[in-house]
Amino acid sequence: MCGIVGYIGKENCVNFLVEGLKRLEYRGYDSSGICVLNEKKLSCYKKTGKIVNMESTLPSEVIGKSGIGHTRWATHGEVTDANAHPHLSANGKFAIVHNGIIENYQVLREKLIADGFEFKSTSDSEVIAMLLEKNFSGNFEKAFYQTLSLLEGTYGIVAVFADEPDYLMVGRKGSPLVLGIGDGCTFVASDVSAFLGHTKQAVYLEDNEICKIYADSFITTDFTLEKKQKEIATIEWDAIELDKKDYQHFMLKEIFEQPESVARAYAGRILADIGTAKLGGLNMEPRELAAVDNIGIIACGTSYHAGLVGSYLLEELARLQTVVHIASEIRYKNPILRRNSLQFAVSQSGETIDTLLAMREFQRKGGKVLGVCNVVGSSIARESDGGVYVHSGPEVAVASTKAFTSQLTVFLLFSILMGRMRDMSQYRGVQLIEDLQQIPQKMESILKKSEQIAEIAKKYAGLNNFLFLGRGISYPVVMEAALKLKEVSYVHSEGYAAGEIKHGPIALVDKNTPVVFVVPQDHLHDKMVSNIQEVKARGGRLIAVCNEGDEKIRSLVEDVIEVPKTEPLFSPLLTILPLQLMSYYVAKELGCDIDQPRNLAKSVTVE
């Protein structure tokens, strides 16, 4: 949730810390702070609100050859300057930044108070700085190990000690941290976007690793002090991808990137002439794949909705029974692992703690879990037993858009692959691949309608409750549309199976309720027509996303957004686009903070 940055090197690090935090602001943005070390003295600046607030409090001459910074998403303790990180020890010699939750902080805090330590904040993290001071007996590194051994919960921690300016200490258990290897300097951050403009060489820390970082080297050990060999990876993303270019918001930029990102998700993975897909990262022999007879999908939020679409694809194209689990539920449910089962953990960030822990639970039971991640080298990507990167490129807006359609593309490829190993003919496979290759161009034509969609959004933006209805494979699409609208515009919205409205939700419909139907021309079209008529009879304001030339639907509703026809099973790749745009424009009309909606964070690394 929170974002961490750190630097040690020859240059003044203040600019890097502030800019790095801005890159990580999507992780949490209720307060921020930096602490720099100069001539054995720590100077700390913290402020609630966005990073620019903190930046504006910095004196013009702040210098530090090493320093740490943090952007916070509050879990323990309200949003105040005092609760913002970094936290200093009582003697002002140790400073820490922390991401995660210290579960035993109350006990530790009471003991420290009994020992005479005075706390300035109500945050759980402050105990770490105090413990460093308490455990220090001449050796910072040793004090760091001792302190970490007392902590229960999850953490990514970076610590600096005023009297040892040559190194920083870093520890990871449950919250991601990655080193950036620069020219005569070393960076550390919650994710690579913080230092991508400076270096593309990265070292991913694993859970239960501690690292001592110098300007020109680093030493990694586990908690028993055993040295660990670490590989230096080269990051594929470019810093330029983290810029908004000419778009007003990252969300809009990312919506518009989808023709390219979907094409990237299938590039090099299709065998057009034999109508199938190849997914090298699965790490599974054909014989092993052929033995799979049921699938489980674990995910949260938008990734969960992608998994639901995936279940329709897998059942229809590969006839594989598929169960989709909300990660935070399944991990406490003692999941049943069926024989010949294959699990997928789906996560844009690859760091969502519930998905990661649910994945581990399945692995503990002997299950094979494949990752479907965007962020290369993320925890889920590394800990899974194989997987497929979706290659969306960095997704910066908190609301997930392009990752969703890339995840769908990966499920499509996997469903075609499994279908072709089972009952699907080569002819059908070839047709499906051809249809898939036409998707980017069809997406382009929808994006050209953004002005029309903005007008529709404007018309309905003042209304308080939206209903989104769909059937079959469009049902997860409407769930995703409702999530998108509520998260960026704070307007209440629900996504429902259209066949279910008579069982309750239709009671919500009145002349102030926009009801959005997703109704592609598939085998459920006539059923949807009946649902539209039911809602119309009750005075709802009707909007439809339908296929081009669908006069029947046009005659029934107030506003129509047309999308090109496609293979019905691929329709989610198209029908979600106007709904992402509609959410964006409603939020814009209402003056919301679109890229960083209130109370949310991009990467949910606490339970």
Catalytic residues: 2, 602
Count CB atoms within 10 A of the CB of residue 33.
26
Is the bond preceding residue 86 a cis peptide, omega within 30 degrees?
yes
Which positions ≥6 away from 11 have C-beta within 8 Å? 65, 185
Nearest distance in Å: CB 403, ligand F6R: 6
Which stretch, 344-352, 421-429, 461-469, 490-498, contacts ligand F6R (CB under 6 A)? 344-352
1 contributes a contact to ligand F6R by CB under 6 A: no
74 contributes a contact to ligand F6R by CB under 6 A: no
355 contributes a contact to ligand F6R by CB under 6 A: yes
Please state, in angstroms and rounded to a whole number, the distance separating the CA atoms of residues 283 and 142. Answer: 41
Count CB atoms within 10 A of the CB of residue 231.
7
Of 346 and 544, the one with the shorter C-beta distance to ligand F6R is: 346
The pattern of x and - marking residues 102 through 131 that bind ligand F6R according to CB under 6 A reads ------------------------------
Q: What is the dihedral of CA 375, 378, 379, 382, to 10 degrees?
A: 100
For ligand F6R, the binding residue among 100, 171, 275, 301 (CB under 6 A) is 301
Of 99 and 347, the one with the shorter C-beta distance to ligand F6R is: 347
Of 175 and 352, the one with the shorter C-beta distance to ligand F6R is: 352
Nearest distance in Å: CB 4, ligand F6R: 17
Task: Evaluate whether 568 touches 521 at the Cβ level (below 8 Å).
Answer: yes
For ligand F6R, the binding residue among 348, 450, 493, 531 (CB under 6 A) is 348
Nearest distance in Å: CB 583, ligand F6R: 10
For ligand F6R, the binding residue among 32, 175, 199, 303 (CB under 6 A) is 303
Helix (H) or strand (E) holding 470: strand 465-470
For ligand F6R, the binding residue among 215, 544, 573, 604 (CB under 6 A) is 604
384 contributes a contact to ligand F6R by CB under 6 A: no
The 3-state DSSP class for residue 85 equals coil
Q: Which residue, judged by CB position, is nearest to ligand F6R in the bound state? A: 301
Nearest distance in Å: CB 212, ligand F6R: 30
Residues 432-491 close enough to bind ligand F6R by CB under 6 A = 483, 487
Task: Evaluate whether 162 touches 42 at the Cβ level (below 8 Å).
Answer: yes
Of 352 and 474, the one with the shorter C-beta distance to ligand F6R is: 352
Of 30 and 562, the one with the shorter C-beta distance to ligand F6R is: 30
Name the amino acid, one letter, at 594. Answer: I
Please state, in angstroms and rounded to a whole number, the distance separating the CA atoms of residues 88 and 456. Answer: 52
Query: Considering only CA atoms, which of 331, 352, 351 is closest in space to residue 343?
Result: 331
Which stretch, 297-305, 336-344, 489-497, 536-544, contacts ligand F6R (CB under 6 A)? 297-305
Q: In what order do the strands lie in the sheet with 465-470?
A: 492-497, 465-470, 514-519, 541-547, 559-563
Which stretch, 74-82, 295-303, 313-321, 502-510, contacts ligand F6R (CB under 6 A)? 295-303
The pattern of x and - marking residues 524 through 563 that bind ligand F6R according to CB under 6 A reads ----------------------------------------
Name the amino acid, one letter, at 382. Answer: R
Which stretch, 58-66, 154-162, 177-185, 341-349, contacts ligand F6R (CB under 6 A)? 341-349
399 contributes a contact to ligand F6R by CB under 6 A: yes
For ligand F6R, the binding residue among 99, 347, 415, 493 (CB under 6 A) is 347
**422-457 exposure pattern, b = at least 16 Cβ within 10 A, e = fewer:** eebeeeebbebbebbeebbebbeebbebbeebbebb
Nearest distance in Å: CB 480, ligand F6R: 8
Nearest distance in Å: CB 303, ligand F6R: 4
Nearest distance in Å: CB 51, ligand F6R: 21
Backbone angles phi, psi at 433, to 5 degrees: -65, -40
Query: Considering only CA atoms, which of 550, 548, 478 is closest in space to residue 514?
Result: 478
302 contributes a contact to ligand F6R by CB under 6 A: yes
94 strand-pairing partners? 161
Please state, in angstroms and rounded to a whole number, the distance separating the CA atoms of residues 599 and 601. Answer: 7
Nearest distance in Å: CB 326, ligand F6R: 11
Of 128 and 375, the one with the shorter C-beta distance to ligand F6R is: 375
Of 302 and 384, the one with the shorter C-beta distance to ligand F6R is: 302
Nearest distance in Å: CB 376, ligand F6R: 13
Task: Evaluate whether 371 touches 384 at the Cβ level (below 8 Å).
Answer: yes
Residue 464 tokens, joined: 């308080």
CA angle 60, 64, 66 (to 5 degrees): 145
Name the amino acid, one letter, at 593. Answer: D
Tokens 């049943």 belong to: 336
Name the amino acid, one letter, at 149. Answer: S
Task: Evaluate whether 259 touches 440 at the Cβ level (below 8 Å).
Answer: yes
Task: Evaluate whether 541 touches 511 at the Cβ level (below 8 Å).
Answer: yes
Of 11 and 383, the one with the shorter C-beta distance to ligand F6R is: 383
Count residues near ligand F6R (CB under 6 A). 14
352 contributes a contact to ligand F6R by CB under 6 A: yes
Please state, in angstroms and rounded to a whole number, the distance separating the CA atoms of residues 322 and 234. Answer: 36
Q: Could you give the residue ranges of the DSSP H alpha helices within 72-217?
A: 105-114, 126-135, 140-150
Of 483 and 498, the one with the shorter C-beta distance to ligand F6R is: 483
Sign of CA dihedral 542, 546, 548, 550: negative
300 contributes a contact to ligand F6R by CB under 6 A: yes
495 contributes a contact to ligand F6R by CB under 6 A: no
Of 235 and 604, the one with the shorter C-beta distance to ligand F6R is: 604
Tokens 């639970």 belong to: 361
Nearest distance in Å: CB 353, ligand F6R: 9
Please state, in angstroms and rounded to a whole number, the distance separating the CA atoms of residues 249 and 231. Answer: 36
Of 301 and 578, the one with the shorter C-beta distance to ligand F6R is: 301
For ligand F6R, the binding residue among 349, 405, 566, 596 (CB under 6 A) is 349
325 strand-pairing partners? 298
The terminus-to-terminus CA distance of the chain in angstroms comes to: 10
Of 84 and 483, the one with the shorter C-beta distance to ligand F6R is: 483
Which stretch, 336-344, 347-355, 503-511, 588-596, contacts ligand F6R (CB under 6 A)? 347-355
Where along the sequence are the contacts to ligand F6R (CB under 6 A)? 300-303, 347-349, 352, 355, 399-400, 483, 487, 604
